[in-house]
Amino acid sequence: MIELLRATVFHTPERAIESFADGGLLICDGRIAACGDYTELRATNPDIAVRDLRGGYLLPGLIDTHVHFPQLRVLGGMGRQLLDWLEFVALPEEARMSDVTYACDTARRFVRALASHGTTTALVFGSHFKAATAALFRAAQGSGLRIVSGQVVADRALRPELHRSPADAFRDCTELIHEFHGRGRLLFAVTPRFAVSASEAMLEVCQTLLNEHEGLRFQTHINENELERAEVARLFPWAQDYFAVYERFHLTRPGAVMAHNVHTSDSELERLAATGTSIAHCPCSNAMLGSGIFPLRRHIDAGVHCALGTDVGGGTGFGILKEALQAYALQRLAPDGMLLTPGHLLYLATRAGAQALQLEHETGDFTVGKSADYIYLRAPEGSPLEAVLERAESPDRILSALFTLAGSESIADVRVAGEAVRDDA
Ligand code: GUN
Ligand code: ZN
């Protein structure tokens, strides 16, 4: 199956943006065969079918590197900071995932929400319950999305029904790894919630899982909030800082993604960079939970790899475009903020996520040979976005309009490996 798509094309094969106003994307058996000017691609491929999508925009599928599936229904909680919000808002809902029917329904809605916002790849916090986490993997499998996820493991500091002993957590995770890791587009991520809720024995289990199975990813939270940091310092008196807790158990590595890192030291940044550990920057959540403004410039200067996460349900929804816009806006306000360009935003929303997840060989841009994971954006008729785009003449102007105004209503098509994401989960 070979097909040539014709539309305006944007992607970031390097950090800088590459765009084709009258662009072509040649797709062969679900892979990118070429990306360039339509007329040139047409000249060398005169006989193949063309899908004329002029009037809209082709972007790589968006990548969310931090999102919680059991928190769909707590979106929009206001007025609390992290630890209170967890106790009174998020964790009561997470406890409801012990009901498998409820968890299956949530998983289906969650996967649908990712797709409808243009997210084709996500690193997802599963549930504390094995059956609910399996429900998420099955819903993901049914949809065709690329999902990296894992059962959340904790043995203290939460509600008792969310705790598992290290031995039970090890058994549950091992079973899930055998059932789902490496199946189709699914991967398993070892997922201790955060250092506050993990004993040393539990962190050791995480280390063992990573050692025993090839290709697992790792995710957790770090340095989000001052009270959380004080609690970590109290619980791990031997640790020089928060990052040192994860270091001690060799959980810091390429393919490890730690969310937030708002309150961090220069030493931690240096060690994050040296170990190839990535940070999921979640600016909507940082603002909603009053966590603070992310020191992006310090991360970049130290060479720490950063991508974007929506942090549903601490954040404000599933849109990675909106998340990028929030990153832009908060950097405008930060005393030492960076002036992010539309090209930076596109990189953060796509290829940076693929790099964080070690999926760069497969997705994140339109380099020849990668999977044809793309979204097609088109302004709804009569919308402000349509009006702005009528006057937008440069690639930067078009992209900045899309980041500012394109919500899920502007996402007309979502494909993974050239196939429409399915709603039969
Ligand atoms: N730290 C530990 N758990 C969570 C969570 O669910 N959300 C956020 N934002 N931070 C956390
Ligand atoms: Zn989170």
In this predicted model, what pLDDT tens digit does every residue of 193-233 receive, in sequence order?
Answer: 999 999 999 999 999 999 999 999 999 999 999 999 999 99
Q: Is 195 left (phi over 0), alpha (psi -120 to 50) or beta?
A: alpha
Does the Cβ of 68 fall within 6 Å of ligand 1?
yes
Q: Is 199 helix (H, G, I), strand (E, B) or coil?
A: coil
Q: Cα–chain-centroid distance for residue 190?
A: 15
Provide the percentage of residues in the chain whose pLDDT is more than 70.
100
Task: Tell me: pLDDT of 15 over 80.
Answer: no
- The DSSP bridge partners found for residue 307 are 280
Measure 285 CA to ligand 2 centroid, in angstroms.
8
Residues measured by CB to lie within 5 Å of ligand 2, the ion: 259, 311
State both tokens at 9.
């094309």
How many residues would you count in the chain?
425
Mean pLDDT along residues 50-73: 98
Distances (CA, A) of 130 to 23, 122, 175, 204: 45, 19, 9, 19
Contacts 24+ apart (CB under 8 A), 324-332: 324/348, 324/349, 324/403, 325/403, 325/404, 326/283, 326/284, 326/287, 327/281, 327/283, 327/294, 327/296, 328/403, 329/283, 330/283, 330/286, 330/287, 330/293, 330/294, 331/296
Ligand nearest to the CA of 91: 1
Q: Which residues of 19-32 are buried (b: 16+ CB within 10 A; e: fewer)?
A: bbeebbbbbbeeeb
In angstroms, rounded to a whole number, what is the distance separating the alpha carbons of residues 217 and 258? Answer: 11
Does the Cβ of 261 fall within 6 Å of ligand 1?
no
What's the pLDDT at 237? 98
Measure 258 CA to ligand 2 centroid, in angstroms.
9
In angstroms, rounded to a whole number, what is the distance separating the alpha carbons of residues 274 and 267? Answer: 11
Q: Is 195 helix (H, G, I), strand (E, B) or coil?
A: helix
Q: Please list, in sequence order, all residues whose beta carbon lies within 8 angstroms of the beta carbon of residue 52, skipping any fewer than 6 positions away.
A: 6
Ligand nearest to the CA of 222: 1
Ligand nearest to the CA of 65: 2
Give pLDDT tens digits for 269-309: 999 999 999 999 999 999 999 999 999 999 999 999 999 99
Does the Cβ of 194 fall within 6 Å of ligand 1?
yes
Task: Tell me: pLDDT of 335 over 80.
Answer: yes
Measure 86 CA to ligand 1 centroid, in angstroms.
7
H or E, element range at 274: helix 266-275
Band (348; pLDDT cuts 50, 70, 90) = very high
What's the pLDDT at 166? 98
Task: Tell me: pLDDT of 258 over 60.
Answer: yes
Instruction: Look at strands 62-68 and 186-192 and give their pairing.
Output: unpaired
Say what the alpha-carbon torsion angle 240, 246, 247, 252 is, to the nearest 10 degrees.
-140
Q: Is 377 left (phi over 0), alpha (psi -120 to 50) or beta?
A: beta
Q: Which atom of ligand 1 is nearest to the CA of 282?
A: 9
Band (424; pLDDT cuts 50, 70, 90) = low
- The DSSP bridge partners found for residue 59 are 375
Ligand nearest to the CA of 124: 2
Instruction: Look at strands 374-377 and 49-60 and give their pairing.
Output: antiparallel
Task: Tell me: pLDDT of 316 over 80.
Answer: yes
Say what the alpha-carbon torsion angle 232, 357, 415, 314 is, to the nearest 10 degrees.
10
Give pLDDT tens digits for 120-158: 999 999 999 999 999 999 999 999 999 999 999 999 999
In angstroms, rounded to a whole number, what is the distance separating the alpha carbons of residues 105 and 93? Answer: 14
Q: Which of 29, 35, 31, 38 is nearest to 11 (CA)?
A: 35
Q: What values do phi and psi take at 105, rounded to 5?
A: -65, -45
Measure 259 CA to ligand 2 centroid, in angstroms.
6
Measure 6 CA to ligand 2 centroid, in angstroms.
38
Mean pLDDT along residues 89-103: 98
Task: Tell me: pLDDT of 189 over 90.
Answer: yes
Judge whether 308 and 322 are in contact, CB under 8 Å: no
Measure 67 CA to ligand 2 centroid, in angstroms.
6
Give pLDDT tens digits for 236-250: 999 999 999 999 999
Distances (CA, A) of 34 to 29, 61, 211: 12, 17, 38
Does the Cβ of 193 fall within 6 Å of ligand 1?
yes
In angstroms, rounded to a whole number, what is the distance separating the alpha carbons of residues 63 and 346? Answer: 10
Does the Cβ of 311 fall within 6 Å of ligand 1?
yes
Q: Please list, in sequence order, all residues whose beta carbon lies within 8 angstroms of the beta carbon of residue 14, skipping any fewer than 6 positions away.
A: none
What's the pLDDT at 423? 81
Judge whether 307 and 65 are in contact, CB under 8 Å: yes
What's the pLDDT at 303? 98
Provide the percentage of residues in the chain whose pLDDT is more than 90.
98
Measure 72 CA to ligand 2 centroid, in angstroms.
12
DSSP letter at 421?
P
DSSP per-residue letters across 293-349: ---HHHHHHHT-EEEE---TTTSS-S-HHHHHHHHHHHHHHSTT-----HHHHHHHH
What's the pLDDT at 425? 46
H or E, element range at 120: strand 119-125
Mean pLDDT along residues 157-171: 98
Does the Cβ of 86 fall within 6 Å of ligand 1?
yes
Does the Cβ of 314 fall within 6 Å of ligand 1?
yes
